Structure 1
């Protein structure tokens, strides 16, 4: 009998989602950065996302609690950025050993509350339980104009591929202090033509193929063009993961103009064009086994 280590995260998700039912109220279901369902008001959709971080997987026991709390919320905010959605409210599920110091828990919530407040999010409740290690789950809701325009499934052949910021270096602490690109995503939604977009959480080597799969396309990546964090190799930029930058595709006729305008508006972040989408889904000049997988050994 196969185990999770045998099939990996993506195959598991496909098997699970293949068993789920949907209806017309579900506008964007499993497989994108967030789920989107019909909202209470005409012209508005409800955006839903949940994410979990686990001690020993996403942070260590020695990681400052405020940074752990910050990271838990920031990861979800990054998914909202991927769809240019507006986050509103959050629930927190906390699992912790009974030996955990109360101050550590309060520091966790201080970290969560600070970054949530910075982005207009209110933490409105949650759940607590005991367990063998510290686990935080954030469930967040927000809004998005309907019809929804930005998903990972609408890239076109000939599109330029672009990323924001720099890639690699998460192991040096960037995964704890990254800034969700909500402001940049909303600027793009209002000022540019974007065909597809997602955030880079598991590394470009894992997430670019996911975008290509969702759009039924291949790609040609210009490895030398990758914007790298100081001291990082190309391999690290591809595979380190937890970059939480935006990965997007733009129509060829406007890509360079969009990148230039973005760089004028966000000179400390910047956008870099790194390749093209191809019509042939089999053409991909990238190791598909790179990036982060929660289950593969």
Structure 2
């Protein structure tokens, strides 16, 4: 059973017709109208599970904390003119794997990350567990005028992104093949993208002024483009040549050294947490004037599906099951 199939079963079971629910399952955040004249309130939750998302003997506690916070706040900022506000942190602890020093370092780093993004912790839960896990639930707010959801894109819109893609997939492969003490300088940079992904909080609000839709790139570029197609009933044509501009120099050098195609890592990699969005053609010059780092990577057309006909490599993306 696929993750998407489980979500569909949940959606069919629960009632999301309450007028206060602006967006239930299906976007980066749930969106709720609580009567605030200017803002909606947004909610997201995500996990880090040992041996699924991280290895206890490989990551430092500070790195686990950083990933936990950043993978969640990325969802908040992908909603446009938004900010995270409060969080709940839950954990499953195995005291044979986590000692007092590990936990102290984790909590210190967790507070530092939450402070950086302006998030206040308001509680959580702790349980004993054979498998170590951490869950972060976030509440934020988004301007009603500046909200940017996955829906809203139309044919002829321009497909854009900010940030690099593919680094994390390369980092994970490197982690599984060697100890971090033996990383090259490029592998250290790729690994840095894994443990402390860049979050484009200073760009999201500006992008929301011009974009018709937006999402964070957590499951890989190809899956993100599938989502845009499915939600908006459009055909997404990816410009393969543009991928050279969104692949980092470290990824390109690593790919040459390891006889890999960097385009496969850009297309199929996940957990980069950069922003992918669509922009009406009339807005594109204004956006590029405000944000120099915007990359144009394709266009939306009438039809359905994802067109990467110029690419002959492998396509795959992360599924839990």
What is the TM-score when the length of structure 2 is the normalising length? Answer: 0.83
Shift of residue 40 of structure 1? Answer: 4.5
Partner deviation per Cα, 1:125-177 (whole Å, 9 max, x = no partner): 11000111210100011111226631001111000000101111112321211
In the TM superposition, structure 1's runs of 4+ consecutive aligned residues that sit over 6 Å from their partners are none
The equivalent residue for 2:301 is 278
- CA 1:75–1:59: 2 relative to 1, 3 Å: same
Give 3-state SS (helix, strand or coil) of 2:271's partner.
coil
The equivalent residue for 2:92 is 95
Contact 1:34 1:79 in 2 (8 A): yes
Backbone CA RMSD of aligned residues: 1.7
Give 3-state SS (helix, strand or coil) of 1:108's partner.
helix
2-side partners of 1:293 and 1:49: how far apart?
Answer: 19
2-side partners of 1:237 and 1:110: how far apart?
Answer: 33
Shift of residue 97 of structure 1? Answer: 0.8
- CA 1:288–1:44: 2 relative to 1, 3 Å: farther
Give 3-state SS (helix, strand or coil) of 1:253's partner.
helix
- CA 1:247–1:229: 2 relative to 1, 3 Å: same
Tell me, yes or no, if structure 1 residue 141 matches structure 2 residue 170: no
Give 3-state SS (helix, strand or coil) of 2:90's partner.
strand
Shift of residue 290 of structure 1? Answer: 2.1
Partner deviation per Cα, 1:22-47 (whole Å, 9 max, x = no partner): 21110111100000111242232111
Tell me, yes or no, if structure 1 residue 9 matches structure 2 residue 7: no
Matches within 5 A, 1:1-297: 4=1, 8-22=2-16, 23-61=18-56, 62-84=58-80, 85-99=82-96, 100-146=98-144, 149-170=147-168, 171=171, 172-173=190-191, 174-189=193-208, 192-226=209-243, 227-230=246-249, 231-232=251-252, 233-263=262-292, 270-282=293-305, 284-285=307-308, 290-295=316-321
Partner deviation per Cα, 1:105-136 (whole Å, 9 max, x = no partner): 22222222111101111112110001112101
Give 3-state SS (helix, strand or coil) of 1:59's partner.
coil
2-side partners of 1:283 and 1:180: how far apart?
Answer: 26
Shift of residue 208 of structure 1? Answer: 1.4
Partner deviation per Cα, 1:15-73 (whole Å, 9 max, x = no partner): 22121102111011110000011124223211111111111111111201101011101
2-side partners of 1:128 and 1:282: how far apart?
Answer: 43
Structure with greater proportional helix content: 2
How many residues matched? 281
- CA 1:198–1:282: 2 relative to 1, 3 Å: closer
- CA 1:34–1:220: 2 relative to 1, 3 Å: same
Give 3-state SS (helix, strand or coil) of 1:254's partner.
helix
For structure 1, the residue ranges without an aligned partner over 5 or more in a row are: 264-269
Contact 1:203 1:291 in 2 (8 A): yes
Give 3-state SS (helix, strand or coil) of 1:237's partner.
helix
Moved more, 285-294 or 86-95: 285-294
Contact 1:262 1:271 in 2 (8 A): yes
The equivalent residue for 1:267 is none
Contact 1:80 1:182 in 2 (8 A): no
Partner deviation per Cα, 1:57-104 (whole Å, 9 max, x = no partner): 111112011010111011111001100221101110011112221221
